[in-house]
Chains A and B, each alone.
Chain A
Amino acid sequence: MTIRSSLFGAVAAALLLTAGASGARAQDAHAQPRPHRMSWSFAGPFGMYDPAQLQRGFKVFKEVCAACHSANYLYFRNLAQEGGPHFTEAQAKQVASEYQITDGPNDAGDMFQRPGRLSDHWPAPFPNDNAARAANGGALPPDFSVLAKARSYHVGFPGFITDAFIQYQEHGVDYIHALLTGYEDAPAGVHLQPGLNYNVYFPGHQIAMPKPLSDGQVDYTDGSPQTVDQYSQDVAAFMMWVAEPHLDQRKRIGFQVMIFLIVLGGLLYFTKKKVWSNVAH
């Protein structure tokens, strides 16, 4: 008994120490506030993209972000595919034809420009990374293709465990929304490096991207508020779709699979019981 209780005492002490140590660390790591959890239409087991929101987000991307950011794995054809912004094929073709794509070489050996087609990917604003850096004060605007899955924030214990149960996967879009709405004047005493801007949510707070969005900047035709907050949510949702274009299908199939497995599991449970019913075990 004594051994037992002292062992458990030791384990409890170790647990406390561990929690304490990580808690102390957590405090200084969190000088940067944790992004707010927004209510995303695509969160949770039945969450799906809202095509209207994706269309608005696409507009923000096209008119604002795409001036500096590429989206190399986004193809014009994707705009008309299932589970996306639900543009018609004609609309997607129209968007594509607004862009000039470099093709070639032709029979004379020259590269040439032609209007975009559905099979083209979204044209990058700069011919290469160095050109992009040169035009942006030395900083490279990251590609949008999987950016919403490439960003996250520290959740810590026990939040990271509960997230697995509530199926929370929207850390990337939370962060993007927070970043886009997180521009502020640098607090007194903070020395901003030349060319950098103060952002509450950016790691280190000094970000090369100037505040990209302001109220009223992009015209919405569906009556949604034309605010930085709304723009940020919409473009973040759009980026999530660009990063995970099959989310709707995934969750739909997932639901069918779950139901199927539960039924099969139930049948197997009774079969197993029946098979074992004549054996003591």
Chain B
Amino acid sequence: MSMRLPCCVRPVAGGFRGRRLRDVHRDDNIIGDCAVAHTETSDTTTRRDFLYIATGAVGAVGAAAMAWPFISQLQPDASVLALSTTEVDLSPIAEGQIVTVQWRGKPIFISHRTPAEIKSAVDTPLSDLKDPQPDSARVKTGKEQWLVVIGICTHLGCVPLGHQGQYNGWFCPCHGSVYDTSGRIRQGPAPLNLELPPYAFTTDTKIVIG
């Protein structure tokens, strides 16, 4: 990408540039590169090209570096990142109830599952699943009654409705995806199970999400 000089040794298409320099050279008795250029060795060419390439490369690096702050400013800012944990008290949630809380601006479903719901989830053979995952991998051991999932359909992001659909899990009204009581995809266009947020029990009845 070296910048080429329009010089008399290298007449440029379009006439104007080449003509101009020849004239300058002849009429104004200017002793410049052009005189030298006729006998220019490949050595000087290399040195000159090196200068142009170096300048262009350093400039390009600078432009790229300058772009970074303008890209980075679009990322979540420090105040958004600081809000990334949510604490939830589970004690008011009755068996069979699903509540929705917010974490990072997303809906989180907390389902207090009945023994029947747990059983149907555990008994489902993996071969029936589009995104095979045992129920045990989706809950915390000893806390099987609590299912905590991100309430966003893995198809195109709508919020599914609880206790609906053929598997009594969730049904997405947008394009008809059906999830079971473990939040696993069973029917419809969604490719994956409802995602699990990172969370941990801090006491028997309290979780911290994030």
B156 lies within 8 A of chain A by Cβ: no
Contacts of B54 in A (CB 8 A): 267
Looking at B3, B82, B92, the one whose CB has the most chain A CB atoms below 10 A away is: B82
Q: Which of B5, B55, B82 contacts A268 (CB 8 A)?
A: B55
Q: How far is the CB of A81 from chain B (nearest CB, A)?
A: 8
Does A173 count as interface, using CB distance less than 8 angstroms?
Answer: no
Q: Which of A1-9, A127-135, A224-232, A269-277 is found at the contact surface with chain B?
A: A269-277
Q: What range describes how many residues of B lie at the interface?
A: 20 to 34
Asked whether B52 lies within 8 Å of A118 as measured between CB atoms, the reply is no
Query: A258 an interface residue at 8 Å Cβ cutoff?
Result: no
- Report the minimal beta-carbon distance from B63 to chain A, rounded to whole angstroms: 10
B92 lies within 8 A of A270 (CB) = no
Closest chain-B Cβ to A279's Cβ sits at a distance in Å of: 6
| Pair B30/A280 contact, Cβ less than 8 Å | yes
Q: Does B94 contact A (CB under 8 A)?
A: no
| B34, A278: Cβ atoms closer than 8 Å | yes
Confirm or deny: B123 has a beta carbon within 8 angstroms of a beta carbon on chain A: no
User: A264 at the A/B interface (Cβ < 8 Å)?
Assistant: yes
- Report the minimal beta-carbon distance from B184 to chain A, rounded to whole angstroms: 30
A107 beta carbon closer than 8 Å to chain B: yes
- A270-B82 CB under 8 A given contacts A279-B24, A280-B30: no
Q: Is A75 an interface position by the 8 A CB rule?
A: yes
Count of A-B residue pairs with CB < 8 Å? 55
Known: A107-B92, A267-B54. A118 touches B82 (CB 8 A): yes
Is A263 on the interface with B (CB-CB < 8 A)? yes
Complex alpha-carbon distance, A270 and B48, angstroms: 10
CB-defined contacts of A261 to chain B, threshold 8 Å: 62
Kindly list chain A residues whose C-beta atoms are within 8 Å of the C-beta of B3.
Answer: 271, 275
Q: Which residue of A lies closest to B5 (CB)?
A: A275
A224 vs B83: C-alpha distance when bound (angstroms): 37
Whether B55 and A264, one on each chain, are in contact in the complex, defined by CB atoms closer than 8 angstroms, is yes
Residue of A nearest to B34 (CB): A278
Write out the residue numbers on chain A whose beta carbons fall within 8 Å of the beta carbon of B83.
119
Distance, CA A237 to CA B60, complexed state (A): 39
Q: Is B116 engaged at the interface, CB distance under 8 Å to the other chain?
A: no
CB distance from B206 to the nearest CB of A (A): 13
> How far does the alpha carbon of A17 sit from the alpha carbon of B37 in the complex, in Å?
60
Contact across chains for A279 and B30 when beta carbons are under 8 A apart = yes
**Chain A: interface size category:** 20 to 34
Chain A hits for B32, CB < 8 A: 277-280
User: How far is it, in angstroms, between the C-alpha of A280 and the C-alpha of B29 when the chains are bound?
Assistant: 9
Instruction: Tell me if A260 counts as interface (CB < 8 A to partner B).
Output: yes
Contact of B71 with A by CB under 8 A: no
| Contact among A117, A260, A263, A270 for B51, CB-based, below 8 A | A270
Closest CB-CB distance, B158 to chain A, in whole Å? 26
Q: Which of B28, B48, B85 contacts A280 (CB 8 A)?
A: B28
A109 CB to nearest chain B CB (Å): 14
- Chain A residues with CB under 8 Å of B37's CB are 278
Cα–Cα distance between A28 and B79 once the two chains are bound (Å): 47
Contacting residues of chain A (117-156) with chain B, CB-CB under 8 angstroms = 117-119
Residue from the list A81, A263, A271 in contact with B52, Cβ < 8 A:
A271
Which residues of A lie under 8 Å from residue B92 when comparing CB positions?
107
A81, A107, A261, A264: which has the most chain B beta carbons within 10 Å? A264
Q: Say whether B7 faces chain A, with CB atoms less than 8 Å apart.
A: yes
Q: A264-B62, A279-B21 are in contact. List 5 more A-B contacts (CB 8 A).
A: A260-B62, A267-B54, A270-B55, A278-B25, A278-B30
Report 16 cross-chain contacts, Cβ distance below 8 Å, ordered by A residue: A107-B92, A119-B82, A264-B55, A264-B59, A267-B51, A267-B55, A268-B55, A270-B51, A271-B55, A277-B33, A278-B5, A278-B21, A278-B37, A279-B24, A280-B24, A280-B28
